[in-house]
């Protein structure tokens, strides 16, 4: 069983080949043009996907030593994401599906992230999944590969969004998550204090917009020369508060669900301080925390191929009239 996975939901163009549940190739091309704008420009993202998708698919096939005629099925991100970007991947997959006369499986991008943690790892069901990315922050209970329920979510910004917007406030480059991770390494965690955000209506839901505003106020209190010398300290304290917020909510959910198996996925799961602190969390609460390999943390087609493989084996395929969606959908 050979599946081609295609991912074009935001600003990464990716293609992957999966054979019998094993990833043979995973090509990811990140769009650099958005650095000039401090964030993703949807129109430019779609244009880049249009230029890149054919090349990326061919590269994935070549690296896997697979011919296009050997493909048994296609898996493609249907949403959530940028509509223009999603359309590029979806229409390309539809064309291949018709031309090769093979089935196509539309994949929920978040379902792909969940299954990214199972590509090289084994974990017993049910388990708790913390999904932390640029567009989404959720805690889910995963009952099996296709059955999951949302236990907690953000009411405003996602954790990854808080990193990106925080980086912009600090004058750092885009994407902000890796930049804050980098400059925080030599920061003193005792120099600045940020309050863990609370949501009045829920003990477990997240809120990061107020934390971003608090960072803006602190930065405005500093002159430019002082900010330059203090940037490692303030970035480290800001990052620590985001991470502490994630673990505080996760702790509540774990106590409510009486499980000790946790999977952490999404782009923020690549953060080095987050991974370092998770080891402390594991020992403190006697839980088992699993992360995907770094190459599967950010957006990639391997996770889409894996989700397509799972759905195909359950007899779930899509019609050619499926359309992309921008917001969360099961």
Q: Are residues 256 and 158 in the same domain?
A: yes
Which pLDDT tens digit goes with each residue over 226-283?
888 999 999 999 999 999 999 999 999 999 998 889 999 999 999 999 999 999 999 9
Q: Are residues 132 and 251 in the same domain?
A: yes
Q: Are residues 271 and 150 in the same domain?
A: yes
Angle between helices 272-285 and 176-184 (to 10 degrees): 70
pLDDT given at position 4: 98
Whole-angstrom distance, CA of residue 41 vs CA of residue 53: 18
Asked, for residue 10, whether it belongs to a domain, the answer is: yes
* Burial category of 294 from C-beta neighbours within 10 Å (exposed 0-12, middle 13-18, buried 19 and up): exposed
Q: Return the SS3 of 15.
A: strand
Asked, for residue 42, whether it belongs to a domain, the answer is: yes
Asked, for residue 323, whether it belongs to a domain, the answer is: no
| Six-digit token string for 81 | 């994401």
121-124 CB contacts, 8 Å cutoff, 24+ apart: 121/263, 121/290, 121/292, 123/261, 123/263, 123/288, 123/290, 124/261
Give me the CATH number covering residue 137.
3.30.420.40
Asked, for residue 330, whether it belongs to a domain, the answer is: no
pLDDT given at position 329: 56
Asked, for residue 170, whether it belongs to a domain, the answer is: yes
Whole-angstrom distance, CA of residue 22 vs CA of residue 307: 12
Q: Are residues 98 and 154 in the same domain?
A: no
Q: Are residues 140 and 261 in the same domain?
A: yes
Residue 170: pLDDT over 80: yes
Residue 330: pLDDT over 60: no
Which pLDDT tens digit goes with each residue over 25-59?
999 998 877 777 777 888 999 999 999 999 999 99
pTM for the full model?
0.94
Pick from 81, 194, 92, 217: nearest CA to 136:
81
Domain count of the fold of the chain: 2
**Which residues does residue 159 pair with via DSSP β-bridges, in sequence order?**
none
Cα distances (Å, whole numbers) of residue 265 to 38, 47, 56, 88, 203: 24, 28, 24, 25, 22
Q: Are residues 227 and 197 in the same domain?
A: yes
Q: Are residues 287 and 301 in the same domain?
A: no
Q: Are residues 287 and 300 in the same domain?
A: no
Q: Are residues 214 and 254 in the same domain?
A: yes
User: What integer is the mean pLDDT of 308-325?
Assistant: 97
* Burial category of 295 from C-beta neighbours within 10 Å (exposed 0-12, middle 13-18, buried 19 and up): middle
User: What integer is the mean pLDDT of 183-195?
Assistant: 95
DSSP letter at 35 equals G
Mean residue pLDDT across the chain? 94
If one counts every other C-beta atom within 10 angstroms of the C-beta of residue 7, the result is 32
Q: Are residues 229 and 178 in the same domain?
A: yes
Asked, for residue 324, whether it belongs to a domain, the answer is: no
pLDDT given at position 227: 86
Asked, for residue 57, whether it belongs to a domain, the answer is: yes
Q: Are residues 138 and 286 in the same domain?
A: yes
Asked, for residue 270, whether it belongs to a domain, the answer is: yes
Range of the domain at 232: 123-291
Pick from 146, 148, 112: nearest CA to 129:
148
Pick from 211, 279, 218: nearest CA to 242:
211
Q: Are residues 39 and 107 in the same domain?
A: yes
Which pLDDT tens digit goes with each residue over 68-115?
999 999 999 999 999 999 999 999 999 999 999 999 999 999 999 999
């Amino acid at each position: 069983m050979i599946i081609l996975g295609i991912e074009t939901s935001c600003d990464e163009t990716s293609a992957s080949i999966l054979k019998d549940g094993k990833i043979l190739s995973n090509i990811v091309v990140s769009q650099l043009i958005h650095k000039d704008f401090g964030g993703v420009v949807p129109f430019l993202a779609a244009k880049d996907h249009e230029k890149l998708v054919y090349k990326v698919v061919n590269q994935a096939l070549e690296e896997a030593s697979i011919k296009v005629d050997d493909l048994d099925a296609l898996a493609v991100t249907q949403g959530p994401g940028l509509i223009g970007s999603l359309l590029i991947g979806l229409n390309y997959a539809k064309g291949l599906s018709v031309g090769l006369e093979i089935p196509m499986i539309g994949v929920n991008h978040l379902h792909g992230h969940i299954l990214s943690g199972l590509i090289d790892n084994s974990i017993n069901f049910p388990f708790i999944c913390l999904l932390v990315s640029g567009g989404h922050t959720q805690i889910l209970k995963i009952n099996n590969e296709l059955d999951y329920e949302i236990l907690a979510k953000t009411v405003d910004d996602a954790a990854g969004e808080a990193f990106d917007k925080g980086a912009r406030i600090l004058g750092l480059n885009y994407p902000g998550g890796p930049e804050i991770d980098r400059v925080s390494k030599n920061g003193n965690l005792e120099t600045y204090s940020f309050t863990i955000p609370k949501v009045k209506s829920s003990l477990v839901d997240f809120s990061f917009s107020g934390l971003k505003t608090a960072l803006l106020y602190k930065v405005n209190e500093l002159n430019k020369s002082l900010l330059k010398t203090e940037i490692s300290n303030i970035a480290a304290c800001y990052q620590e508060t985001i991470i502490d917020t994630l673990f505080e909510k996760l702790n509540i959910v774990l106590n409510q669900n009486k499980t000790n198996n946790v999977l952490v996925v999404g782009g923020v799961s690549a953060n080095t301080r987050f991974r370092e602190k998770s080891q402390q969390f594991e020992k403190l609460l006697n839980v088992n925390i699993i992360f995907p390999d770094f190459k599967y943390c950010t957006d990639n087609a391997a996770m889409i191929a894996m989700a397509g493989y799972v759905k195909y084996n359950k007899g779930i395929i899509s019609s050619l009239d499926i359309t992309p969606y921008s917001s969360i959908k099961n």
